[in-house]
Structure 1
Amino acid sequence: MSRPLSFVPPACARARALATSRGDFAAIEALPAGEPLGTALLLPGFTGSKEDFNSLLQPLSAAGYRVVAVDGRGQYESAPPPAPEGYSQAELAADVLAQADALGVPVHLLGHSFGGHVARAAVLRDARPFRTFTMMSSGPAEISQGERERAKLLIDALAVMSMQQVWEAMSDMAPMEETPVDGADLHRRWMSTDPAQLVAAAGLLVAEPDRVDELAALRAVLPVHVVSGDEDGIWPPVLLDDMARRLGARRTVVPDAGHSPNTDRPAETAAALASFWRDHP
């Protein structure tokens, strides 16, 4: 489970609703002191939320960027769709396009883990709203074998157990590690997430096809950045090295970081993102 360093946004940021043509999405927006150099839209991963990016907001806004992190449909504080079909990848991609349109300018798009696959589906549908695209700890296709087995266990569990029961079972199997975040915050986020969203996202993660060649076809109009930690059991870094090569993309490996370099090494991660964005103003 993703563990943000804090659920409280930094002083440069505020919680807001991002109103779009497809409804409102819970967001956290950080603004620079002066005129923004650009706007970035950040999408969280599986079991995550917009708070996963809190530790990036101050350094990115200090670098001159307006940054908006959102909860996807059914994640934490964003409302679920009227029907489960709203969790299809095509519908989630349409949400991202609506979010970019609501921000009013071509945006630097970043997707972490599952959010990277959703973001990729959006740019493949229409790349015009995006200045750049960063896939953070997000691989070319489905998750690793061990992670597929864990995702299927979660799908099966949520079919017969409540969110509270699943939370207790997960806590028994893997007791909460020492973290700056109060366990009550993580529990509240888990309980506020729509279980149908978790089931749908897990299903997409175990079945995602390799769409790297499709994305590579856009390289003339959309610069791509592949970012990860130097250790990751979900998509091994060597797999992301090869994906970056196929894409002709910039590749950043953040030292001493795992699946969430945004929380493991936020200063180094923010510096790499800002450097990439500055090269594509």
Structure 2
Amino acid sequence: MAGLAALVAGQDDAPAVLLLPGFTGSKEDFVTILPLLAAAGLRAVAVDLRGQYESVPDADGPDSQFTVDALAADTVLAAAELGGRVHLVGHSFGGLVARAALIAHPTALASVVLLGSGPAAIVGPRRLALRALIALHAQAGLAAVWEGVRAVDTVVRSPEEVEFLRRRFFASSERGTLAMGAALLAEPDRVADAAAVAAAHAIPLLVTHGVGDDAWHPGMQAEMATRLGASYAVIPDALHSPAAQNPAGTAGVLIAFVHGAIAGLSTPTFPTPGATAEVA
């Protein structure tokens, strides 16, 4: 799909939801919600961005292939292969890519969801950690970065999950990882541009995040939603990776928003926290 590795769930003729992972992530980050979206009558397609895991970059191409705008162009090509306008979901760094796709190619999109993303470059402790890892790479190489990532990971993981994360980390393009990290540190505030384009093309927007998101602060994301004129929903029992931490809650919010966008509702009704999402 436009050279991007993908996981797909749902019928080919169903409304398409295209999901973009975050920095150092992959399509597998959405594996728990793909069947839930499909059960709600949607075609859910999660991809690896160029250079992530199984999406192989141009080995002879410049690092500019990994910029936010270049990744957005890849996204639009993938959307075109799905046919019609897609509902685009971007998590974290993927949200910055989704926003760039909205600004540059609005006619390809039926709606846009920014999931645990922010108005500009990453901030706070995660910014400091990313800068430290980039400096560590310059001093000691990729293997040392992996050891650094594992050292600060506080999540209890099974040996199988750790092995998958290790395999994904080293399978991803080293140049791509560094370039995307640099982009995450440097992304400007493009909220006003996104708001103007969405309003001009009547594209529904949603900002949503885990209640305990520790990347962009929840208050910052709420303010961004206001600036965008977007719908806004908080996902309970989740931090920065709600698709993994609360799959049912995340899917419920996405399903409600996408169905609302399809129906032309200006204010979608989101599931009550703790309730089971109704699916079609």
Question: Normalization by structure 2: what TM-score?
Answer: 0.87
Greater shift in the superposed pair: 66-75 or 168-177 = 168-177
Call closer, same or farther: CA 1:274–1:175 in 2, change over 3 Å.
Answer: closer
Q: Displacement, 1:218?
A: 2.5
AA matched with 2:54: E
Question: Normalization by structure 1: what TM-score?
Answer: 0.87
What's 1:194 paired with?
Answer: 173
Deviations 1:64-110 (Å, cap 9, x if unpaired)?
00011000111000102322121122211111111111111100000
Alignment equivalent of 1:184, drawn from 145, 158, 163: 163
Partners in 1 of 2:13 and 2:72 — Cα distance? 29
What's 2:193 paired with?
Answer: 214
Secondary structure in 2 matching 1:251: strand
Q: Displacement, 1:171?
A: 2.6
Give identity over the alignment, percent: 41
What's 1:80 paired with?
Answer: 57
Q: Displacement, 1:129?
A: 0.6
Greater shift in the superposed pair: 42-51 or 99-108 = 99-108
Aligned length: 258
What's 1:279 paired with?
Answer: 260
What's 1:13 paired with?
Answer: none
Task: Extract unaligned runs of 5+ from structure 2.
Answer: 263-280
Alignment equivalent of 2:222, drawn from 241, 246, 249: 241
More strand by share: 1
AA matched with 1:83: P
What's 2:271 paired with?
Answer: none
Partners in 2 of 1:175 and 1:243 — Cα distance? 29
Task: Extract unaligned runs of 5+ from structure 1.
Answer: 1-17
- Aligned 1:259-270 pairs, distance under 5 A: 259-270=240-251
What's 1:56 paired with?
Answer: 33
RMSD: 1.7
What's 1:257 paired with?
Answer: 238
Greater shift in the superposed pair: 70-79 or 148-157 = 148-157
- Aligned 1:81-160 pairs, distance under 5 A: 81=58, 82-160=61-139
Partners in 2 of 1:173 and 1:30 — Cα distance? 33
Task: Answer whether contact 1:45 1:116 (CA < 8 A) is retained.
Answer: yes
Greater shift in the superposed pair: 201-210 or 130-139 = 201-210
Alignment equivalent of 2:24, drawn from 47, 69, 75: 47
Q: Displacement, 1:27?
A: 0.5
Call closer, same or farther: CA 1:176–1:270 in 2, change over 3 Å.
Answer: closer
